[in-house]
Chains A and B, each alone.
Chain A
């Protein structure tokens, strides 16, 4: 095993070294940094050209210049790390150190969302193969697959930022809009549930009515400028969530499961008012973690006491119900700040921004309030996250659908069914777990790619992340910056492949690394 790891590490080194040498030379030969002076009418043009040649060592042939760059990287071994200066003379390391967290902040939510949504929807379509829902999701996933992100971004900004902010001036929804939204929501819900014609239409009717009611209520009460979930909203969502968690883990027919799940949901509803004390204006991330700790321990305790055998299953139910049901409490707390945030000078009534990472005009007092600054970050993340999720989750739908379908045709699934296991157990325990194996490679690689940034998305939403640095480096003939981004992406990619290979052995006992 050790030998295998060493061999792989050696290969990784060769790959990174070789590719960086190639990339350095290709970029150096294909670009001419002096071209900025081509049209310069500066009277000291000659001096400026001399200066740039001196600064960038343009008189040294690129293959040789590569090694002076490499020396800075290798010098990192004895703490003398130097990635050089950008063409604008900023240290590449400093620029990347600032861009990397920005990219992670931008991409991480959408990557998680895309994975969770994509895998969920993909697996449902596999279970309901050739159903209306399967066909419509196949259609949707191919549609999203082919959407260019810059165009999606333009539409999102137009409808979800500009038009929505305009709408907030008088947040009354016209009845026609309510009807259209309700019908669309009903169709989606009915598609999800599926079933015979009668069930389809009853779900369609019920869901539409529900959506129409919700929207009319929101419109009548100006909910959009004074949003909140309140104790009733939190309880309702906690109960729904408990039902899903219980169904997935033990099945709703298990009495102990129901007691744990719904018991936890009720406990969280009861905790709604006491927990507000922990969420004052001077709260911080520690308070949030404390809240999670409280609810999760209560949930797990309920699971523990509700059962005497198989305790792990019920503790898990309590744990997940509590974890997910606490989120609405926090969302509700953020919503309580919305009105004040929206009417503050910095925002002046237009809360959804089209770009940027944060509102530059928030006062120090606002920035120090965890809830207001959190709300501000969240609002700046809304559009790019939706854009990135929309275009990337389609891929996960296709992968997970195909993967689960393949597994469901295996002999051991037939055996599982033959020995009388419930369909829920067959699918969740035997099907889904095995279907996750081939997805490991994709997931690990996607997480590595995450640090390379989202070139176009960062551009249209004006986030200075790794993607935009890469783009700047290419268009500005900035060799050191280009190599800085390149070396990080290249290293992470080969590392991710390595980790994926090791993980295979861990998640699938059938795979062993041979000597």
Chain B
């Protein structure tokens, strides 16, 4: 210290002499920052609308806004469980008959929107308008399934289970605090169909040309008007609200000139500023009481969503404190090393939202016409053996060790296409499905077994002679290419000549649905946890069954998963039965659970990623410094 001071004195003297005091000297600043109260969250894509319900194909990023400004009956937590938000309200089945299935939604009283207007069940009615084609047609708002003209409410919610099964209109009761919805049959995933609240009074006001927050009386009248428009199916008025729903919330800028009625919220925050492609700033909603209470000690007062699309830029921004929360669903080992070395950052790695998977073609895909005649075609013993050999020779352990363990050290190959390691279901399902056939023994033993299977049909096959030509396709990413090379090298030992094809746009209708590929490696993710997860891929007429699989056991189990209200145990048993067929027929094999990284400012507490939809913002109310 002393030496340092001496040096400093000498330096000062020298420089003062040289410059003759050419520069003025300021007093020493004390850099004592107060406790931070801001969180800057990363968004990897643009926000284009304050309404994530429209069909603009940008729900993933637009729903980030809603996660701060909206609270409804449910949300997913970090354990991928659907949590009932009792602060907002409750729901229960009130009638369960084969042709009459009724659910009652009770909105908890005492809640208000950010402008002070009371929240009640009338606010849930918009959900019906934007999800029921029948209502749209009956109210003269257009037929959503018409290929030429779009409906007044250009919503992305038509055509789903709600639309297919809802009967009549929802009924209000209990002083407009309760809503009862009737469906044509019992729906297993009824909890996912809960209507979300919308500030209908504000929408009605904007549709009438109002600007800025209104008085309580005006708001109440506007809500009554909306209810009247809804029940009397007032086409003209509803069309105005439809235009607002479709376009009015699509903004490129929010500032002090923005109509405050557009920004009304019942979440913990309200949108304050927005610049397209750059950032969105939120401030606290002082009237928030629709969800779990905000942290009381050093809570967050401002949230910023910062849009960054380039990974290195995100990481450096995190290191520099320009952002507080970073996430990456496709991290590399280098990302992990860089993040781990940062002094100001906590890094967490977890699995549970996505997996990587192999799927083998057996036939022409559902709804396609290309004829498939590759080595895996059909359900003959020969095709099954060759498919099984291909899966046996896939070096999953090596893939995980080389490419996944650098990100998540304890990663192991995944044995189920439905559930992940660490869940109670996993052990039950994998034990019943017989997936261990692809992980028992060493890779050398499995490769030898694969070669034996291939030799049955190609006697010349050996580690040097590869008579079975296989066309393999994967997305053009560094990770996928590296994985594919490992497969190609190992498959050669069992007589497979694997031709690697990489496509940037893997899911273009032309690539994975045409019959020109025998095997695909791709990611597999969940956007919601429904009982019938995976069925659209495995059942013979599933919309995503593009690889030609067909099995009656699978179809029967899927039918039950899609239409019966089952206990958790029954669901597990049915999934295991499906998985057993998949394994026995060697249709496909899960490779590993994709690890995701969340890294955040060390001082920030309670950041937890929810695997469903890779949501880092779900528990903002728990965040604090």
Contacts and interface: CB of A to CB of B under 8 A. Distances in A.
A154 B334 CA distance: 15
A300 B277 CA distance: 45
A46 B11 contact: no
Given A158-B316, A230-B22, A339-B29, A217 B16 contact: yes
Contacts of B55: 48, 51-52, 55
Contact of A464 (B276, B508, B510): B276
B18 A213 contact: yes
Contacts of B215: none
B48 A88 contact: yes
A51 B149 CA distance: 9
Interface in B247-303: 247, 250, 252-253, 273, 275-279, 281, 302
B15 A220 contact: yes
A192 to B, nearest CB: 20
B577 interface: no
Contact of A95 (B12, B247, B252): B252
B15 A356 contact: no
A231 B304 CA distance: 40
Nearest to A464: B277
B48 A361 contact: no
A47 interface: yes
Contact of A232 (B23, B511, B523): B23
B278 A213 contact: no
B381 interface: no
A221 B522 CA distance: 59
A222 B48 contact: no
B145 interface: yes
Interface in B575-595: none
B12 A354 contact: no
Contacts of A55: 55, 150
B544 to A, nearest CB: 6
B313 A345 contact: no
B316 A162 contact: yes
Contacts of B533: 41
B159 A213 contact: no
A276 to B, nearest CB: 13
A157 interface: yes
Which residue among B54, B147, B316, B513 has the maximum number of chain A CB atoms within 10 Å of its CB? Answer: B316
A53 B55 CA distance: 12
A353 interface: yes
A330 B91 CA distance: 64
Contact of A355 (B9, B36, B308): B308
A354 B322 contact: yes
A454 to B, nearest CB: 13
Interface string B523-546: 100110000010011000001100
Interface stretch (A28-36, A123-131, A285-293): A28-36
A53 B309 contact: no
A361 B159 contact: no
A472 interface: yes
A217 B15 contact: yes
Contact of A357 (B25, B156, B159, B278): B278
Which residue among B16, B252, B302, B510 has the maximum number of chain A CB atoms within 10 Å of its CB? Answer: B252
Contacts of B567: none
A150 B30 CA distance: 36
B246 to A, nearest CB: 8
B236 interface: no
Contacts of A339: 26, 29
Interface string A212-235: 111011011111011111111100
Interface of B is mostly: loop
A32 B505 contact: yes
A213 B17 CA distance: 9
B138 interface: no
A98 interface: yes
Which residue among A53, A169, A220, A472 has the maximum number of chain B CB atoms within 10 Å of its CB? Answer: A220
Given A354-B316, A361-B302, A462-B278, A44 B160 contact: yes
Nearest to A237: B22
Contact of B26 (A34, A217, A228, A233): A228
A54 interface: yes
A41 B24 contact: no
Nearest to A97: B252
Contacts of A157: 313, 316, 320
A501 to B, nearest CB: 36
Contacts of A231: 24
B459 interface: no
B568 interface: no
Nearest to A335: B26
A205 interface: no
B33 interface: yes
Contact of B159 (A44, A102, A158, A356): A44
A203 interface: no
Which residue among B157, B304, B505, B537 has the maximum number of chain A CB atoms within 10 Å of its CB? Answer: B505
A222 B28 contact: yes
A370 B19 CA distance: 31
A354 B150 contact: no
Given A38-B508, A161-B320, A232-B21, A349 B33 contact: yes
B124 to A, nearest CB: 20
B65 to A, nearest CB: 13
A35 B505 contact: yes
A168 B33 CA distance: 14
B174 interface: no
Nearest to A220: B12
Given A88-B49, A462-B278, A229 B23 contact: yes
A214 B15 contact: yes
Contact of B25 (A86, A158, A221): A221
A253 interface: no
Contacts of B29: 222, 225-226, 339, 342-343
A53 B11 CA distance: 72
B498 to A, nearest CB: 22
A343 B54 contact: no
A343 B32 CA distance: 8
A168 B31 CA distance: 10
B356 to A, nearest CB: 13
Given A32-B505, A356-B306, A226 B27 contact: yes
B159 A228 contact: no
B56 interface: yes
A69 interface: no
A244 interface: no
Contacts of A460: 310, 312-313
B522 A39 contact: yes
A220 B147 contact: no
Contact of B313 (A230, A459, A464): A459
Interface string A454-484: 0000011111100010001000000000000
Contacts of A54: 146-150
B309 A462 contact: yes
Contact of B28 (A37, A210, A226): A226
Contacts of A440: none
B310 A462 contact: yes
Contact of A461 (B19, B54, B304, B313): B313
Interface of A: 32, 34-48, 50-55, 59, 86-90, 94-95, 98-99, 102, 150, 153-154, 157-158, 161-162, 165, 168-169, 172, 175, 178, 209-210, 212-214, 216-217, 219-223, 225-233, 236, 339, 342-343, 345, 348-350, 352-357, 360-361, 459-464, 468, 472
10 closest A-B pairs (Cβ-Cβ)? Answer: A38-B507, A464-B277, A47-B159, A230-B24, A217-B15, A226-B26, A44-B159, A216-B11, A213-B18, A232-B22
8 contacts: A39-B522, A47-B160, A51-B150, A154-B312, A157-B313, A165-B320, A221-B25, A357-B275
Given A222-B29, A348-B36, 18 more contacts: A36-B507, A41-B526, A54-B146, A90-B48, A99-B277, A175-B7, A213-B14, A217-B18, A220-B12, A226-B25, A226-B26, A232-B22, A233-B23, A233-B24, A352-B320, A355-B322, A459-B309, A460-B312
